[in-house]
Every structure is written in structure tokens, then in C-alpha cells.
Amino acid sequence: MDMDTDLPGPDYIRVLAVLPKTGRPWLVDAAQALLEGRTWASEDLVEGLPEEFKLDQSFCSVALGPTAASEFNFDHDVDKVALASNLKPENSDYFVVRGFVKTSGPQLVPRNIDDLELYSDPSIYTLLTCGTDPAVGSVADVRNKLGAAKLAAQVPSLDGAGVAVAMVDSGIFLQHLTRVNILTGVNEALLMRPRPAYPLPPRPALDPALDANNSWTPPRVATPPGGHRVGHGTMCAYNALSIAPRARLFDYPSLIARAPGDHTVPGTVGAAMQAYAKLIAFWIDNLVMAGPYKALVVNNSWGIFHPCEEDVSPGQPGRFIDNPFHPFHVLVWVLAILGADIVFAAGNGGLPCPAPPFLHLTTGSIRGANAYREVLSVAGCDVNDSRVGYSSQGPAVAMFPLPTPDKPDLAAYTHFLGSQVFGEREPDSGTSTACAIAVGCVAALRSHPNISPAAVPPAALFATLRSTARQVGASGWNRDYGYGIIDPVAAARYWGVPIP
Amino acid sequence: MGGSWQGGSWQGGSWQGGSWEGGSGGTPTFAMRADKPLADFAVPRNVGAIYPDYPGRYWDPDLWALTVLSEFFGPALPGGYWQARIVLPGPPGLAATLVEIDRLLVLAVTERPDAMGEIIQQNQNFQVAWLQLLMIDPGTHPNTFLLMKLAARVGEVVMMHYKRIHHRTRPSQICPTLFPPVAVPGHASYPAGHGLLSQLTSIALMEIVPPNLHAALLELARIVGFNREIAGLHYESDTAAGVQVANQVLPILNDCPSYQLVKGRALTEW
């Protein structure tokens, strides 16, 4: 039975492993296979792996650059050209693979096996709520409050044109957004009864909403880019386009990229790592070849519900939820340094009504990648500016030894009528929606030449968004709204866009 | 509980198709009126039915399948005695079990609402899903069907053997609020029966059906096993253990003469 079919046994745990290339030339081909969308599998015994580590060949490998994750320096200034070069598989010295190690149960993964550093690969979930409260307002209110029409009316327009928005989510069903029948090509918006209540703003016929060529179909996923089951990913894509209607979507359905042999439904951090590796390669190509996109914004409406998903015990260095040296952080850091804007939902573990899968653990519910300092972590409020009761509150989990940033960074709107992917009158909810709305704001801003990533790096743009956010509650940062409610018009003015 | 827990009557066991599709149930009866009994009419004797002539197709597959047990659990298999050929580590300890419980709670609130239909449908006689997947029934593929029965009979006994050894607590004994939506079965948790039988059924079928069906068989096995975790009936490690045992059972099954006979015939059906 090969590794593609089952776990080695109940005494094995799935892990990510960081390992040097020395003596393992196959790592380069495996990493290239991931980037090229090839299947990689070695018929022979893969060289250089300890017997206790069972390799998952379907994962391929991810190039990590010149240092191991545990030794990565997140504070150094970098030469971006060298950084991009080091991340190429053929130049990389360290790689990440996935496999299984023998342990006596969850949270007992060893730190090392020989020269392999082991890290947890927990399951990740969409950050939707089970909240039963009805919607408050609609996406029309959200657009009004954020000045979306005002942004789009500028010359040049701040509407997301030329900006790639990567949805690292559960996949997009494009027809729900465009209303164009994928079989006939006919726009059915006017034929539908009842008419779609909140259609997205129209876009030119020759400006497709999805870039299928630059999207990703994980192994074992049956549906193509833009053709996935309608649900969370479609909701998020809708909300990003509601503010930046001419942004172009990249479909990265990591949340349905189930690990082989795994008994769980969702994707894992490993699948997110694959997505980020591909996004880094895409973005480097776009920069080097002067490609068609002027910015890349990454939507991450996912997270970890509860520490029980961790396979590494507290205090151990291989953890994900509170360890800044997890290899996923390296990829996030690299992509941010290269100029991509990475936005995360804060989470739905706030008081007084945390989403049930948080199991009432509301302290430190902004955890893992959602708490990285390079990312914009977004809390949720309704269109009346009231924080939604499930939105995760700060402070985030401590990321020792790095300083713990103020999280959430800011808040954005959620719990309104919009995509209605979950049924008529069902709200778009959760900090998932707030994250996508914030992504729409960032994408709209990035379409203006004054605010290109070259002129305004992600860290500077996020600082502006924090400083221009509309304060609610206590001044400065507070645990509910962060620095306030996102205000893209104020941010655009800050960077010299003369919006009256 | 008990009775037809798994595989007992999932098709062919009782009179016609068992009870897996509902129906009126009960024992079928055939009346003969007292004043003019059918036996009063003189008809030529059907001498073709003289002993020994009980065609194989008359056999109840469930009962025929029982005959493989004496081979599987006997001492005469070429590869050796079955117990020596199966390795199963003990279940995780309490600390790890508590982590698994938390994960089941997360699954209960995130996945159970969507999975309810499958959980209920797969609670008993779940092998009908394999018939549906392969688009077969006892009429179209009698030997393939019989092969599934052989695997089920052996799997059940092996499973109960290990369940008795380990006596692992059901998740809902530790955490009653997991509240499984179907009755908690009357046996211990480790290894998972659904996980074991699903995997065993799939990998046994993979030896006879075309390769293009293999991946679907494994996915079906995975889903059936995982739905029992969503239902709060099994830990993740139970399912993994079931899969591990199933992978070790198949080679032993392949040593059994009855299984070899049925497998040879089943191969001609594909």
C-alpha cells in the first residue's frame, strides 16, 4: 500500500519536516514539480531519509531558501533579487516535506529525527460562524460606508484593476459571481427569478474575473479553478470584488486540499505552504518579467479553531500556533518582503459568543499565521459599527521570542446580506467576510499608481491603514477593533489621491 | 445492538435483499389452503433435484461466507497462524485521548450537520455503498458480492478480537456531550469496525476490479471511517488502527482456499 492511500498506522502523526538538500538531490525535482503542477513520485526508495520518517510523496517539496526555519532571521534587511534567487528550487539549501512520524499520540511529536526539524501540520478551517442572528444591512451599506463608488470614480480609478487577489480558501464558484453560465456563456443575471439581490458591480466583457492559468488545483481535487462547490470561498471572493470590482481572482483552494491518508475533511497548514510557494514563484515571475499584475493581495479567511489541532506540545519549538519559526512563517515573510499584501481574518473566538468550534477558549484566539506581524489581521463589525460578538479579541497569542504585535490590526464589515451563498437571506458572516472586505479595500488602493507595492511596501500600507482607520471605542489600539474600522478613502488621501 | 450489527443482513442474508432498504420486514410466508392443498395435485416428480444437487447460486452468501472462518482462523495457512501476522499497537493513553476528544468536539460542531445523512445511512449495512459505487448487485456480480461477504465475516471477527483485547472507552463515555446521533455500538472503540471493514472491503475489491476504480474505493473507505469520527463514535486513532489491521488481514485472507476460489471466479466478472 503506498503512502497515497493511508496512514502508516494509529501510532503515526502527520508532520512537516525541514531538511537540508545535502545528500538529497530529489528535493529539487520535487519542489519544481510542485511549481510546475507535475505529479512527483519516486518509485525507488527516496534517499537520505531516516527510517522513522515516512515521506508523503504527493506533497512534493517546498523550497525554503538558504537557512533552516529554526535559524531564520525575520529582522534582517534583504536584497530582494537575492531573496528571489535563493527561493528557486535549484538554489535552495533547505526544503520542507510532509510525512508521518511514529509517536505515542497527538502533541508528542519529537523535535528532530537526525537532521530533520519536525513541525506540526494542523488542520485549518474556514472562519465562518454558526451565528443565527439575522443580517445587519447589506453589501450596499458596506460599499457606501467604505466609499467604494468614490474610489472607483477617481482617475485613475481605485477599483482593483490590474491587481491579483489570491483567494487561499475553499475554492470559487465563478458563476455565482458573474452570473455567466459556464456552459453557454450567457449572462443569466436578467433571466433569473428572483433577480440576484446584490449583484456585483459590472466589469468589462474582456476583463475576466478569474485568472485560471495562475490558479492552483491541488492533487486529489476534482473541480477546476472557478468551478468549485459554492460556499465559503465564493463568499469571500464576492466580498473582495464588492469593493474592488475589477480585481482579478486567483483560485487557491487550499482548504479542500486534504492530506493523503488523512481522516480529516479540511486542508492543513501544509496545503497553505504549497499555495504560498506557488504564489511566491508566480509573483517573482511577474516582477522579473514585468507581468500584467501591479500588485498581489492574498486573502486568508482561515485559521485554527483550538490548540487541540496542534500535534506538538506546548513549549516545544515545532508548534504552529505560537511559534514564529514555523516554516510557514518564512514563506509569509518572504512573500510580504517581495511586496504582496497578506490579509488574515482575526478569528471567530471572541466573547460573548465565540463560534462553537473554538470550544469556549477565547483567550489568545488570534493564533498561528493570523497573528504574524507581517499580515493584516482583521476583526469584524456590522454596518452600524458594532463589533460582532464572535469576533476574536486581542491580544494575540504570544509569539516568543519575537514581539507580539497588536492584533487585531483593524476591523472591517461583516454579517450583512451579500453573496447569499448559504441561502436567501443568509448573511455573509464571520471575520472571513471582514477579511475579504479588507482585501477588497487593499486591492482597490493598490490599483492606483501612487500606491504600488514598489512605492508603498505592504508594511507601509498596513501602517497607513491602521493610522487612518476610523477609531471606535478606546483611542489607539483596543482589543475589539484594533486601531479602528478600515477607511480606504482616508488611506488613499494619505497617499496623495485627491478624493474630495 | 448485536444481531445484525454489521454485514449480517446487508444483502442476501435473509429472504430477499435483507432489510437494508426498509420494506415491511418480517418473515415471508406462503399459504396453502386446507381444503385444496397444493399437495393434493398429482404432478411428476422433479427428479433433477435429487441429492446431491444444491446449486451454488442457492446458497445464502452470508452463510456460505461463514465457512471461510475455519480456514482463516485455523492453523494450516501457508503463511502461518493469523495472530502472529497482525501487529497492532495499543491505543493512545489518556493525555492523547483527551486531545482526540477535543478534536472530535470540533468535528461535531463543524462537520456533523452536513454529514448526518451519510452517518445515518452508513450506520448499518454500509457495504451497500460499495455496491452502489461499483454499480453491481448479487445478480450481476455474484462472486464479487460473495467476496465482499467473505471479507466482512473475517473482518468482523478480527475486529472483535482486538476490541476485546484493548477495551478502549468510547469517546462519548469520556465526553457525553459528543452525543452521537446514532446508538453507540455494543463493543469497545479500538480499532474502529467501520474503518477496518471499509478498508478491507476496498483493498479486497481492488484486487479484482479495474485500476480506474481503485482511487474511488479508497475514498469511499476513508469517508465511511471518518463519518464515524464526525458522529463521535470513534477517535481518529481508532480509524487509523482499523485501516492498519485491514491492510494486514488481506494477505492472510488471500491464503485461504475458499477465498482464492471466490476471488478467481470474481475476477471473471470484471
Q: Which of B89, B238, B243 sits opposite A6 (nearest CB)?
A: B243
Report pLDDT for A129.
63
B251 interaction partners in chain A (CB closer than 8 Å): none
Indicate the SS3 state at residue B168: coil
Size of interface A-B (CB pairs under 8 A): 84
How far, in Å, CA of B25 to CA of A8, rounded?
Answer: 42
B106/A306 touch (CB, cutoff 8 Å), yes or no: yes
Query: Which residue is listed with cell 471466479?
Result: B265
The amino acid sitting at B255 is D
* pLDDT of the residue at A342: 98
Bridge partners of residue A299, in order along the sequence: A167, A343
Chain B partners within 8 Å of A265 (Cβ):
107, 111, 226
**Residue, of B150 and A182, whose pLDDT is higher:** B150
ipTM here: 0.78
In a domain, B44, yes or no: no
Nearest-CB residue to A357 (from B110, B238, B243): B110
Which residue, among A58, A104, A120, A263, would best test binding to B if mutated, counting the most B CBs under 10 Å from its CB? A263
Amino acid identity of residue B249, one-letter, is: V
- The residue of chain A with its CA nearest to that of B206 is A1
Measured between alpha carbons, how far is A28 from A87 in angstroms, rounded to an integer? 11
Tell me the three cell numbers of residue A452: 504600488
Our CA-based measurement puts residue B96 at a distance from the nearest CA of chain A, in whole angstroms, of 5
Q: How far is B80 from chain A (nearest CA, A)?
A: 21
- With CA atoms as reference, the chain B residue closest to A304 would be B106
C-alpha cell at A445: 488602493
Q: Across the interface, which of A105, A305, A306 has its CB nearest the CB of B92? A: A105
CA angle A261, B136, B53 (to 5 degrees): 125
* DSSP tag of B179: -
Q: Which residue of chain A is at minimal alpha-carbon distance from B110? A: A357
Tally Cβ neighbours within 10 Å of residue A287: 18
In this prediction, residue A219 carries a pLDDT of 81
Query: Which is it for strands A410-413 and A295-300: parallel, antiparallel or unpaired?
Result: unpaired
Partnered with residue A380 across adjacent β-strands are A412
For B197, the 3-state DSSP assignment is: helix
Q: Once rounded to an integer, what is the mean pLDDT over residues B45-73?
A: 87
Chain A residues near residue B92 by CB distance under 8 angstroms: 10, 104-106
A93, A10, A142: which is closest to A444 by C-alpha? A142
Judging contacts by C-beta atoms under 8 Å, the chain B residues touching residue A107 are 95-96, 99
Is the model's pLDDT at B26 over the cut of 70? no
User: Chain B partners of A422 at a C-beta cutoff of 8 Å?
Assistant: none
The full 3-state SS of A217-283, as one line of letters, equals CCCCCCCCCCECCCCHHHHHHHHHHHHCCCCEEEEECHHHCCCCCCCCCCCEHHHHHHHHHHHHHHH
The count of other CB atoms within 10 Å of the CB of residue A457 is: 16
A330, A69 Cβ separation under 8 angstroms: yes
Count of Cβ atoms closer than 10 Å to residue B182 Cβ: 15
Q: Is residue B16 part of a domain?
A: no
User: Domain spanning A126-494 has what CATH number?
Assistant: 3.40.50.200
pLDDT of residue B14: 39
| Residue B253's CATH number | 1.20.144.10
Amino acid at site A406? D
* Long-range contacts from B76-84, C-beta under 8 angstroms, 24+ separation: B77/B252, B77/B255, B77/B256, B78/B255, B79/B251, B79/B252, B79/B255, B82/B158, B82/B252
CB A89 within 8 A of CB A26: no
* Element of type H or E holding A446: helix A430-446
Cross-chain residue pair A265–B111, CB shorter than 8 Å:
yes
Residue B262 lies in a domain: yes
Q: Which residues of A touch B96 (CB under 8 A)?
A: 104-108
Predicted pLDDT at B53: 77
| B192 vs B198: CA distance, rounded Å | 10
Element (H, E) at A113: strand A112-113
- What kind and span of H or E run contains A32? helix A26-36
Chain A residues in contact with B91 by the CB 8 A cut-off are: 10
Taking the domains of chain A in order of start, what are their residue ranges? 12-121, 126-494
Q: Residue B74 forms beta bridges with which residues?
A: none
Q: Does B174 reside within a domain? A: yes
Backbone angles phi, psi at A42, to 5 degrees: -105, 125
pTM for this one? 0.87
What is the spatial distance between Cα B217 and Cα B130, in angstroms, rounded to a whole number? 8
> Which residues, at least 6 apart from A231, have a Cβ–Cβ distance to it below 8 Å?
A170, A171, A173, A421, A422
- The residue of chain B with its CA nearest to that of A108 is B96
What total of structural domains would you count in chain B? 1
Residues of chain A neighbouring B206 (CB-CB closer than 8 A): none
A442 and A452 Cβ atoms separated by less than 8 Å: no
Residue (of A84, A49, A35) closest to A273 by Cα position: A35
Q: Is B241 inside a domain boundary? A: yes
Which among B118, B242, B126, B124 has a CA at the least distance from the CA of B190? B242
pLDDT of residue A263: 55
* pLDDT surpasses 70 at B265: yes
Sheet bearing A248-252, strands edge to edge: A248-252, A163-168, A295-300, A341-345, A376-381, A410-413
Average pLDDT, chain B: 88
Residues of A in contact with B102 (CB under 8 A): 306, 308, 359
Confidence band of B196 (pLDDT split at 50, 70, 90): very high
Q: What is the model's pLDDT at position B71?
A: 97
For residue A60, give the 3-state DSSP assignment.
Answer: coil
Residue B146 pLDDT grade (very low, low, confident, very high; cuts 50, 70, 90):
very high
* Residues of chain A contacting B, Cβ within 8 Å: 1, 5-12, 104-108, 125, 130, 263-265, 305-306, 308-309, 356-357, 359
**Radius of gyration of chain A measured on its C-alpha atoms:** 21
In a domain, B197, yes or no: yes
pLDDT < 70 positions in chain A: 1-9, 43-45, 105, 128-131, 260-265
In whole angstroms, what separates CA A83 from the centre of its chain? 21
Convert the pLDDT of each residue in B84-138 to its tens digit.
999 999 999 998 899 999 999 999 988 898 899 999 999 988 999 999 999 999 9
Residue B89 falls within a domain, yes or no? yes
**pLDDT for the residue A260:** 65
pLDDT at A181: 81
d(CA B262, CA B70): 16
Which structural domain, as residue segments, surrounds residue B93?
Answer: 59-267
Show which residues on chain B lie within 8 Å of chain A, measured between beta carbons: 89, 91-93, 95-97, 99-100, 102-103, 105-107, 109-111, 191, 199, 203, 218, 222, 225-226, 229, 236-241, 243-244, 247
CB contact under 8 Å between A10 and B247, yes or no, is: no
